Structure 1
């Protein structure tokens, strides 16, 4: 059979009008087929007109209407679409199943058996008060009958709070290690999930497993991830977090007396936790894990130095004096940096120079090696800036040590630094906070004094940030300003009294301006000493404490 003749739609339409078309096959395809009265077949474009069939029938043309054949591309498209939907449904179901049941072998708990635990109170240097506070907890776990005789019950929960790196996790491990019981360590974020109810089920799973061992310590790190205050009353709170917290509270309240299981939680911010967590019967004890004092720092340094080859020149007592406000983790990092530097040097042991370099690396970052691109004017600005900090520190706060001044840029972005080491104190006095602001302003004041107000630089940005934060705390939180009085303005804000904001801002500005004028006057009075320190810095780049002492003594200033 010959192939049909392809004709244009206009030719087809003319043939229809002239009555030359015998039959047309209507389909959904792009082309339609037909037969002329002379028996020849044809193909033409399908106009897809709704009234085409009616027109053809009125012209006495036979119409054969049938569905078009499904093309291969359409079949492939349908198959791909169905496959995609099937894959999405399968993935969602599998993820939901994993969330509800947990991945096999990957529970959020890490159970440390007592025979595997090597952490005891001897492994925790410092924090003697905290260790004493929980010593009876260990005794209670080991000998519960000793306390039940007097009607005492085991504290159901203990919260360790304090600055990051102070050893809260280590202390919790030591409790389990001393008591010789299993240690279950989890993080608060392990229980915060997308699906409502998953966190609560994990809480129940954790406590069920702990009960199966009879005695144990459950440690929940970063408990504020699930135990923050529930302040929302309009139903817009986090339903999953609330359910998880309720499950934790229920499990802790549901413990039988003397069950031998204690829950220890850790947080950096005790004030953010829900009050229901902190009440008696839940977390009975709140123990602060403080930053170590000088004796504790020395113990921590000795503990971490035991497995390191230390040179006789290293004076750990001096290092302990320098590292005021260092946490235990930061002290460990200091010794580790010193060990890395010693290994690079290949000296066989950690020398005093390694410890010294590691100390300033931890504080300010490593020194930049290539300083050729620094303009001489920038070096001079940095020298006077750092000299201002050092001079004001020695003149106004002689009890503070200035252990080093340098104009060598560091990898942390500092153009230089003046290392100011205050003595150990339990509290900050008003005088201390005011002097810290004055020291912070001294760099900018020195720049303005030497180079003029129009040539001050951005080098004081961090100093101004810290000074502003300190003065805000003095006025807003600590009642250390006579005009603002003994009010805590944070409490006023929480009670909707926002109009006091302008008063605080103006008072802070006035006080800061007054301190700045005092610092300017002090530097102007001692301008020759300021210049001498700066010139020595430009010549030597780094001055040690003894170098600064020599300059001050030469000008009759003992500090």
Structure 2
């Protein structure tokens, strides 16, 4: 009977979604182990726990979709053979308690996304008519000992954590690590029928993970990706390629190649623009910064996209320097620089709007957040307008300040010079991008090697 009850609970996850299993959450095994150890220790020691202080309460933080956390909470409840209950902070309903004060683990409480951070009667005392107050009253009114494992999502943890710590005594916070590109790609490949996927896709899980990362890395995202692959295989009668996965990462699973708008000459311009970003990333770092991948497939708010290398992002996270800031500014400005080089200043397109804003934001953060100096003989940059902290666009503010604008102009001139001196490399990337639609770091390494050999051959011929 309990087994049937557990299956009924799980089957209500979401209409149209396969029931998840533990294999869908490879990073979550440690959570279940900790929960089991905690419950076993609590039952054996018979600790005297204050009212409503849940010894087993924990916040699970995962860089993923909230639905993923809910599915994980359901799995934990099913594995422990206890009830599962989801609480929506926007609703007044709370779980029905059949055996209050039982002293036994009653279930898993999943707190949905919503407005948890609300007014209080006093410090540490949530008002009774707020979600936090209702949950507190629910716990205090029904339980004298640990009864629920409380689970929430990363998107609301900063809002949920303070009031819930007062309510239920959170004992620890877990951060489930993001799956690596290899792990993410392997999960997707394993979820598909191998006949749907090309041999290149099956043999390169890391590339697959890179293309799915960000938009489709969670359980829900992988379900969408699988449906997308199934659609191509069964309806279009062909196997999924990297180009298809790049499209999925760019525009989502609803649209397909045949529904995307096409404009004569647009692909060529976008390819020049994106090739500029990639080429300057390579040239300005002497090939130490090789982009993860580059695509000219349209996405929701842009027609092309380049992803910085994982190594560059890791270095930026732990040891961000002035030279890295200047490098990022140049890479951001490179698309516009190449458009100007190819089409002329009067024909530069609005593809550059986001790039200019990104360059200005990088400069602002470097100076105001990290305190980088540009040169010892130069005075400090004057402050930007006060409104720059209100979420307005940064580039107009930088543009209106001569000292700040001068920094961007100097780096833009340096970027133009790099592009003009290395047009052959930009052309090589642009041609390859038009042909393949998506390039990976291995492709850039090959293009760079050929470029270096060609330059060396030209130098020898000139000598």
TM-score scaled by length of structure 1: 0.59
Is the counterpart of residue 388 in structure 1 residue 279 in structure 2?
no
C-alpha contact (below 8 Å) 1:207/1:251 kept by paired residues = no
Aligned residues: 406
Is the counterpart of residue 317 in structure 1 residue 205 in structure 2?
yes
Q: Following TM superposition, by how much is the alpha carbon of 1:221 offset from its aligned partner in structure 2, in angstroms?
A: 1.4
Q: 1:364 aligns with which of 246, 250, 262?
A: 250
Q: Flag the structure with larger Rg.
A: 1
1:481: which partner in 2?
A: 372
Q: Relative contact order, CA 8 A, sep 6+: which one is greater? A: 2
Measured in 2, the distance between the counterparts of 1:303 and 1:505 equals 53
Q: Following TM superposition, by how much is the alpha carbon of 1:361 offset from its aligned partner in structure 2, in angstroms?
A: 1.4
Measured in 2, the distance between the counterparts of 1:242 and 1:435 equals 52
Q: 1:118-197 counterparts in 2 under 5 A?
A: 122-128=22-28, 131-141=29-39, 144-148=42-46, 154-155=54-55, 157-165=57-65, 167-189=68-90, 191=91
C-alpha contact (below 8 Å) 2:54/2:170 kept by paired residues = no
C-alpha contact (below 8 Å) 2:294/2:307 kept by paired residues = yes
Measured in 2, the distance between the counterparts of 1:212 and 1:316 equals 54
Q: Following TM superposition, by how much is the alpha carbon of 1:175 offset from its aligned partner in structure 2, in angstroms?
A: 1.8
C-alpha contact (below 8 Å) 2:339/2:348 kept by paired residues = yes
Which runs of 5 or more residues in structure 2 are unaligned? 11-18, 375-379, 391-396, 456-463
| Helix, strand or coil at the partner of 1:218 | strand
Measured in 2, the distance between the counterparts of 1:534 and 1:295 equals 28
Is the counterpart of residue 521 in structure 1 residue 433 in structure 2?
no
Measured in 1, the distance between the counterparts of 2:351 and 2:445 equals 25
CA distances 1:414-433 after superposition (whole Å, capped 9, x unpaired): 44445655358497252566
CA distances 1:486-537 after superposition (whole Å, capped 9, x unpaired): xxxx9xx89xxxxxxx899968756544543432232122123224444565
Q: Following TM superposition, by how much is the alpha carbon of 1:168 offset from its aligned partner in structure 2, in angstroms?
A: 1.8
CA distances 1:379-437 after superposition (whole Å, capped 9, x unpaired): 55333212202212333454555576565x63746444456553584972525666444
Measured in 2, the distance between the counterparts of 1:451 and 1:219 equals 56
Measured in 2, the distance between the counterparts of 1:232 and 1:525 equals 67
Q: 1:286-305 counterparts in 2 under 5 A?
A: 286-294=173-181, 296-298=183-185, 300-301=187-188, 304-305=191-192
2:334: which partner in 1?
A: 442
C-alpha contact (below 8 Å) 1:387/1:443 kept by paired residues = yes
Q: 1:117-516 counterparts in 2 under 5 A?
A: 122-128=22-28, 131-141=29-39, 144-148=42-46, 154-155=54-55, 157-165=57-65, 167-189=68-90, 191=91, 199=92, 202-203=93-94, 206=95, 208=97, 211=100, 215-222=106-113, 225-230=114-119, 242-253=129-140, 256-273=143-160, 275-279=162-166, 281-294=168-181, 296-298=183-185, 300-301=187-188, 304-305=191-192, 314-315=202-203, 317-320=205-208, 322-323=210-211, 324-325=213-214, 327-329=217-219, 330-346=221-237, 351=239, 354-365=240-251, 369=258, 374-376=263-265, 378-396=266-284, 398=287, 401-402=290-291, 410=298, 412=300, 414-418=302-306, 422-423=310-311, 425=314, 428=317, 429-430=319-320, 435-474=327-366, 478-479=369-370, 481-482=372-373, 512-516=408-412
CA distances 1:324-353 after superposition (whole Å, capped 9, x unpaired): 545223344323312221112335xxx4xx
CA distances 1:23-45 after superposition (whole Å, capped 9, x unpaired): xxxxxxxxxxxxxxxxxxxxxxx
Q: Following TM superposition, by how much is the alpha carbon of 1:228 offset from its aligned partner in structure 2, in angstroms?
A: 1.4
